[in-house]
A and B are shown apart, each in its own frame.
Chain A
Amino acid sequence: MEDIFSYRREESFNAKEGLLKDWKITVQPNISVAGWPADAGSKALADFTALEDATIIDRLKNAGADICGATKMSEFGFGIKGSKAGEALRKKEVNAELVLDLMGEARLAAMRANVFGFKPGYGIISRFGLIGLIPSMEACGILSSEVSLIGEILKIIAGADGKDFCLPDESLLPAVEIIPGKTKVGVIREAVQGLSEKENEFFTSQLGKIKEAGWKIKELTFSEYDLCQSVHNIIGAVEASSCAGRYDSVRYGKRAPGTKNWNEMYLQSRGAFFGLLIKSYLFQGAYFQFEKYSDYESACRIRKHLVREIEKLTAQTDFLITPVRMPKNASTPLSLTETYDQFAATLFANVAGLPALCMPAGENVCGIQICGARLCDLSLLSLGEYLCNQGWGK
C-alpha cells in the first residue's frame, strides 16, 4: 500500500458527528491539511508542512469525514505521470479521493481506476489552502465509486468562503429531475473526431443505448474545439509561471547550497529542484510573459470567445457527452505536447469552467464524459447516477 500513499495519518482520530461520519477520504499533498507534509509533489517544496487546513478540509472534518492520508502525485498536480490518484479507491481502501483537476487529471485518474471522476464548475469550491498552478482553470476534483457520495461531498465543500474572495456570489442550482424523453444531450462533432475505429464503435453504441431509451440527442458543431488546447496551454503556462514564482527558496522550500548571490541562489535552487516537465512549462509561461505577451493577450481574448461558444452549446441542450481516450501508461517522461495530448478531451471543461463527470471506464476501450452548464453540478451528478443505474457505460 505504501507505494500509493505519500503520507498516512498516524495520529488518533475522533470523527465529529456529521453526514460524512466514518467515510474515509484521501487527499494529495497539494491540498493543505494542518501539520501534514504539503510538498505538492515537488522537490522544491520538500519538507514543507501545511500550517492550516484548506477550507475544503476544514468543512469535511466538520462533517465527520476521516481524512486518512495523501496519495502520491505528479509535480504540482500537472499531468498524471507519477500520480497514484484513484489507486486507493481501486483497492477499496477509501470512499473518496480529492485530486486537483488542472486540465482533467482527476477525471482521467478516476477512469483508470474504474470510478467516477468529477470536476466541479469554476468558482464553486474555495481554493484556500490548495497549492495550485493554474488558478483560473483548476478546481478540486472528487473521485468515488458512488456518485451520491460525490454529491454529498460537493454540497459540503461548496459555497462562499471568507478566505477566498474569488468565489462569485452564486450558489449551486438544485438538481433537476432526469427524464429520458425530455432531457436533451448534445454531442460535439469535433470531439468525436480522431477516435480509433474501436473507440468510435463503443461510443456510438453508448449513444445508441440512450437513443433507444427515448433520449433526444443533438449533434453540435464547435469548429474551434481544438483551440481549447492551445488556449489552455498558453494561459496555463503563464499562470503556472506566476504561481511558481514564490518557490524561490527565500522563505521556505529547499535552497541549493554554496551560491554566491541571490541570482545564483534562484537559478540553482529552481534549476535543481523543479522537474523537467514543470521546468519546460514554466519556461513556456515566462516566454509568453516576457517575449510574446501579445500572444498571451490573444489567448485571453480567444478564451473569452470560446467560453461564449461553449455556453451557446450548453444552452442548446441539457448536457454534453464526449468520448475520452484512455491514457496510456508511458514508460518514458512525457513532453509538454504529449502531456497536453492526454487531456485533449477533458480540458475544454477547464477552459470554460464547466462541471464535468467522467464515468467509470472499466475494461472499455474508451471513456465517457458528461458535462453541464455552470452551476448545474448537482444535475450533472444526478444524470451520472441515473446513467449508472441504467447500466450505461458498461
Chain B
Amino acid sequence: MEMEAVIGLEIHVELNCATKMFCDCPNRPGDEPNSNTCPICLWFPGAIPQFGRAALEKAALLCLGLNAELQPKSAFDQKVYYYPDLPKGYQLSQAHLPLSRGGWIEIADEQGKPKKLRIHHIHMEEDVAKLLHEMEGRTPISLVDFNRAGAPLVEIVTEPDFRSSYDAMEFLKALRAQVRYVGSSECSMENGTMRVDANISVRPKGTDQMNTKVEVKNMNSVRHVGDAIAHEITRQSACFQSGEAIILHTRLWDPEKKATLPMRAKFAGPCVPDPAVPVIELSAEWIAEMKKRLPEMPAARAARFSTQYGMTAEEATYLSAEPDVALYFETLIGEGIAPRTAMHWLTTQLMPALKEKKMELASCKVTPSRFAQLLSMLAQDEINANAAREVLTHLFDSDETPDRIVAARGFKQVSDPGALCSLIDKVLAEQPAALNDLKNGQAKAIGFLVGKVMQASGGKANPKMIKEMLAGKLDSYNQ
C-alpha cells in the first residue's frame, strides 16, 4: 500500500523587540542569568502585566508578511500548567482569539510548480524561563534563568497541507526569508529564535482520512526538521502497514541517532481568558498603517530582479532571499556596477568569503561602496580578476580604499602594449613547442601561452590584451 504523510507545523518565532512582552526588561535572554528580570516577569505579588506596543507591531507586521488577516479583536488567555519554568502557573497565550487568521506561503514544489501552503492562524505568547538541570554532584539541582521569561513570541500554526519533508523545509526557508524581510525576527533555529514542532500522521495515498498524529520536537536546523519528518514518515508507515496502533504523543528528534524517540503524552491543559491583559482591538486605520510599513516582500522582489536585471528565476530568488543581500546588491547597482558583474562577484566571491570568515554582510568592512570601487576598477580594466580577488581579501582587514590597496601592493594591471609585447616575446623564446604550434596555426596554443605570460607578469598583465596580441601573432604567421 502506498502511504502519504499529512504534516502540519507549529513554529515559534521570537520577536526581536528591545523589551519583553509584558514589562520593560531587556529582551536579551543570553545575558548573565537572571539579570534581565523585574517584579512583573518574575510575577511578584501585586504585579500586573503591561502589554507592549512594540511586540504588537512586530507581531502584526509578521502576520501581514505571511499574508495573514489581522483580527480586529484578539485577547490573551492563560494556558495553565505547573512547571518551574513558568513563574505564575500559566503562560499568557492567545488560545481563543488569535492575532491573525489565515495566511499562506508559496513554495516551488519538487517539480518546480508553485504550491501554496496555508497558515491556520498566528497568535502571540510569552516565552518561559530556561531550566538547567545539574545532575552531577551529590544533590542534583535545577537552576532557573528567568531572562527569557516573558520574551515576546508568536506561534505560527499551519494547516496540515504538507506532504513531505521537502514541503516543510521549503516552507521554513521561505518563512524565514519573509519574517527577516519585515524585520520582526532573525528566525535562527540554531540560536533558538525559531523553533519548529511538526505534527505528522500517515494515511493510504488517495484517501482523505486524518489519522492520529505524533508531535516531533527538538530540531535545531531546517535540515533536522526535514530529517525528523522523513524518519517519522518511515516509522509510522511501517507501524501502519503492520497494523500497530499510533498513539497521540510527543517525540524528540535525536540528531545523533537520527531518530525520533518518545518523550511524553501530548500536553493538553486548559486555556482560561486572562482578566489582567486588556483585549486588543485593532482599528482599520492602524491595520492600514501597518500595511504601509510592509517592505517589498521576497517573492515580489525576485520577480522584479528577474525582469529588471535580466536574471534567471533561480538567481533572482537567491539574491532576494535575504533582505540585506538584496539591499547590498541594489546598492552596487546604484554605484554604477553592471547587474551581472554585481551578482557574480557578490554570490561567488563576497558571500563565500563571509561564510568562511563567519562574518555578517551588514557588519563586515567590505561596505557596498568599497566593493563597488573595486568592481569599477575591474570593469575599467585597471586590475584583472586575479588582482580583484586579492584586493578583496585585503578589504576585509584594512580600512584603505581599493585604489590605495592596488597602488600600494602593485596590483595595477599592466596594459602597456610595449611592456606586454616584450613579455610575450620572452615567453615565446622559452616555449619553443608552443611557438611551433602557433606557427602551425594551432589556436589552442593561445590559452596555454596566455597562462604563461600571466605567470611571467606576476598575475598583473591584462589577459584580454595578451590574448588579442597572441591572436594577432597567430594570424600574422598564417597569412
Interface string of A257-298 (1 = CB under 8 A from B): 000001000100000000000000000000001100100100
Q: B270 and A290: CB pair below 8 A? A: yes
Determine the residue in chain B with the shortest Cβ distance to A267.
Answer: B82
Complex CA gap A50/B273 in Å reads 28
Interface string of B46-62 (1 = CB under 8 A from A): 10111100000000000
Contacts known (A165-B278, A300-B273); A245 close to B80, Cβ less than 8 A: yes
A238 is an interface residue with CB less than 8 A from chain B: yes
Complex CA gap A131/B275 in Å reads 14
Contacts known (A40-B45, A52-B39, A251-B42); A166 close to B84, Cβ less than 8 A: no
Complex CA gap A44/B46 in Å reads 15
| B45 contact set on A, CB distance < 8 A | 30, 32, 38, 40, 45, 48, 50, 131, 246, 252
A136 is an interface residue with CB less than 8 A from chain B: yes
Q: A242 and B90: CB pair below 8 A? A: yes
Which one of A48, A54, A248, A252 contacts B84 once the chains associate, using CB atoms below 8 Å?
A248
| B82 contact set on A, CB distance < 8 A | 245, 248, 266
| A136 contact set on B, CB distance < 8 A | 275
Q: A127 and B87: CB pair below 8 A? A: no
Q: B46 and A128: CB pair below 8 A? A: yes
A129 is an interface residue with CB less than 8 A from chain B: yes
A130 is an interface residue with CB less than 8 A from chain B: yes
B300 is an interface residue with CB less than 8 A from chain A: no
B78 is an interface residue with CB less than 8 A from chain A: yes
| A250 contact set on B, CB distance < 8 A | 84, 87, 144
Q: Identify which of B39, B49, B50, B89 gathers the most chain A CB atoms within 10 Å of its CB.
A: B89
Q: A129 and B46: CB pair below 8 A? A: yes
B277 is an interface residue with CB less than 8 A from chain A: yes
Q: How far is the CB of A382 from chain B (nearest CB, A)?
A: 31
Contacts known (A245-B80, A251-B87); A166 close to B270, Cβ less than 8 A: no
Q: B142 and A246: CB pair below 8 A? A: no
| A163 contact set on B, CB distance < 8 A | 48, 50
A201 is an interface residue with CB less than 8 A from chain B: no
A387 is an interface residue with CB less than 8 A from chain B: no
Q: How far is the CB of A133 from chain B (nearest CB, A)?
A: 11
Determine the residue in chain B with the shortest Cβ distance to A296.
Answer: B272
Q: A289 and B270: CB pair below 8 A? A: yes
Complex CA gap A165/B75 in Å reads 14
Q: A246 and B87: CB pair below 8 A? A: yes
Q: A248 and B89: CB pair below 8 A? A: yes
- B-contacting residues, A148-181, CB 8 Å: 162-166
| A54 contact set on B, CB distance < 8 A | 46
Complex CA gap A32/B44 in Å reads 11
B137 is an interface residue with CB less than 8 A from chain A: no
B269 is an interface residue with CB less than 8 A from chain A: yes
Q: How far is the CB of A70 from chain B (nearest CB, A)?
A: 14
Interface string of B254-271 (1 = CB under 8 A from A): 000000000000000110
Complex CA gap A52/B38 in Å reads 12
Interface string of B289-332 (1 = CB under 8 A from A): 00000000000000000000000000000000000000000000
Determine the residue in chain A with the shortest Cβ distance to B38.
Answer: A51
Determine the residue in chain B with the shortest Cβ distance to A31.
Answer: B46
Q: A166 and B278: CB pair below 8 A? A: yes
Complex CA gap A163/B144 in Å reads 27
Determine the residue in chain B with the shortest Cβ distance to A249.
Answer: B84
Q: A262 and B84: CB pair below 8 A? A: yes
Which one of A50, A128, A239 contacts B275 once the chains associate, using CB atoms below 8 Å?
A239
- B-contacting residues, A213-254, CB 8 Å: 238-239, 241-242, 244-246, 248, 250-252
| B80 contact set on A, CB distance < 8 A | 241-242, 245, 289-290
Complex CA gap A111/B104 in Å reads 62
Determine the residue in chain A with the shortest Cβ distance to B50.
Answer: A165
Complex CA gap A109/B188 in Å reads 57
| A246 contact set on B, CB distance < 8 A | 43, 45, 87-89
Q: B270 and A293: CB pair below 8 A? A: yes
| A51 contact set on B, CB distance < 8 A | 39, 44
Complex CA gap A238/B78 in Å reads 11
Contacts known (A38-B45, A40-B45, A251-B42); A135 close to B87, Cβ less than 8 A: no
Which one of A30, A245, A262 contacts B89 once the chains associate, using CB atoms below 8 Å?
A245
B276 is an interface residue with CB less than 8 A from chain A: yes
Interface string of B83-109 (1 = CB under 8 A from A): 110011110000000000000000000
| A266 contact set on B, CB distance < 8 A | 82
Q: How far is the CB of A282 from chain B (nearest CB, A)?
A: 10
| B50 contact set on A, CB distance < 8 A | 162-163, 165
Q: B275 and A135: CB pair below 8 A? A: yes
Complex CA gap A51/B44 in Å reads 9
Q: B84 and A50: CB pair below 8 A? A: no
Determine the residue in chain A with the shortest Cβ distance to B276.
Answer: A135
Complex CA gap A266/B274 in Å reads 23
Contacts known (A242-B272, A245-B82, A251-B87); A128 close to B48, Cβ less than 8 A: yes
| B87 contact set on A, CB distance < 8 A | 246, 250-251
Q: B51 and A130: CB pair below 8 A? A: no
Complex CA gap A235/B49 in Å reads 20
Q: B89 and A242: CB pair below 8 A? A: yes
Q: A289 and B278: CB pair below 8 A? A: no
Q: B43 and A165: CB pair below 8 A? A: no
Complex CA gap A251/B86 in Å reads 11
Q: How far is the CB of A265 from chain B (nearest CB, A)?
A: 9
| B275 contact set on A, CB distance < 8 A | 135-136, 166, 239
Complex CA gap A244/B88 in Å reads 8
Which one of A38, A48, A164, A244 contacts B48 once the chains associate, using CB atoms below 8 Å?
A164
| B51 contact set on A, CB distance < 8 A | 165
Complex CA gap A148/B174 in Å reads 65
Q: How far is the CB of B35 from chain A (nearest CB, A)?
A: 15
Q: How far is the CB of A95 from chain B (nearest CB, A)?
A: 24
Q: Identify which of A54, A241, A242 gathers the most chain B CB atoms within 10 Å of its CB.
A: A242
Complex CA gap A266/B369 in Å reads 60
| A241 contact set on B, CB distance < 8 A | 80
Q: A32 and B46: CB pair below 8 A? A: yes
Q: B46 and A245: CB pair below 8 A? A: no
| B90 contact set on A, CB distance < 8 A | 242, 245
Complex CA gap A246/B87 in Å reads 6
Task: List the 9 closest pairs (A to B, CB-CB), nearest first.
Answer: A245-B89, A136-B275, A246-B88, A131-B45, A135-B275, A289-B270, A129-B46, A246-B43, A32-B46
A sample of 25 inter-chain contacts (CB < 8 A) reads A38-B45, A38-B46, A45-B45, A54-B46, A130-B46, A131-B45, A131-B46, A136-B275, A164-B48, A165-B50, A242-B90, A245-B82, A245-B88, A245-B89, A248-B82, A248-B89, A250-B87, A251-B43, A251-B146, A262-B83, A262-B84, A289-B80, A290-B80, A290-B270, A300-B273
Residues of A within 8 A of B (CB): 30, 32, 38, 40, 45, 48, 50-52, 54, 127-131, 135-136, 162-166, 238-239, 241-242, 244-246, 248, 250-252, 262, 266, 289-290, 293, 296, 300
Apart from A262-B84, A262-B142: 15 A-B pairs, beta carbons within 8 A: A30-B45, A32-B45, A127-B276, A131-B46, A166-B278, A242-B80, A245-B82, A246-B45, A251-B44, A252-B45, A289-B272, A290-B80, A290-B270, A293-B270, A300-B273
